[in-house]
Amino acid sequence: MSNEDGDDGTSRRLGMAAIEVHQVSKRFGEVRAVHGVSFTIERGSICALLGANGAGKTTTLAMLLGLVTPSTGSIRVLGHDLLRHRYEVLGRMNFSSPYMDLPQRLTVAENLTVYGRLYGVPTLKKRLAELASRLEIEALMRREYRTLSAGQKTRVVLAKALINRPEVLLLDEPTASLDPDTADRIRRMLLDYQRETGATLVLASHNMTEVERVCDRVLMMRGGEIVDRGTPAGLIARYGRDTLEEVFLDIARHRSHDGLAATAT
Q: Which pLDDT tens digit goes with each residue over 196-231? A: 999 999 999 889 999 999 999 999 999 999 999 999
CA–CA dist 49, 211 (Å, integer): 9
Residue 257: pLDDT band with limits 50, 70, 90? low
Query: What's the CATH architecture for 17-98+168-264?
Result: 3-Layer(aba) Sandwich (3.40)
Residues 6+ apart with CB under 8 A from 116: 124, 127, 128, 163, 164
Backbone angles phi, psi at 234, to 5 degrees: -65, -40
* Residue among 187, 170, 89 nearest 135 (CA): 187
Beta-sheet strands, E only, within the chain: 17-28, 31-42, 46-50, 72-77, 80-81, 93-96, 168-172, 200-204, 217-222, 225-230
Report the 10 Å Cβ neighbour count for 114: 14
Confidence at residue 4, expressed as pLDDT on a 0 to 100 scale: 40
What pLDDT is recorded for position 92?
96
pLDDT digits 0-9 by tens, 95-152:
999 888 999 999 999 999 999 999 999 999 999 999 999 999 999 999 999 999 999 9
Distance between CA atoms of 54 and 178, rounded to whole angstroms?
24
Name the residue ranges covered by the structural domains of the chain: 17-98+168-264
The model's pTM: 0.87
- Supply the pLDDT for residue 256: 63
Q: Are residues 128 and 113 in contact, defined by beta-carbon separation less than 8 angstroms?
A: yes
Q: What is the pLDDT of residue 261?
A: 44
CA 109 to chain centre: 25
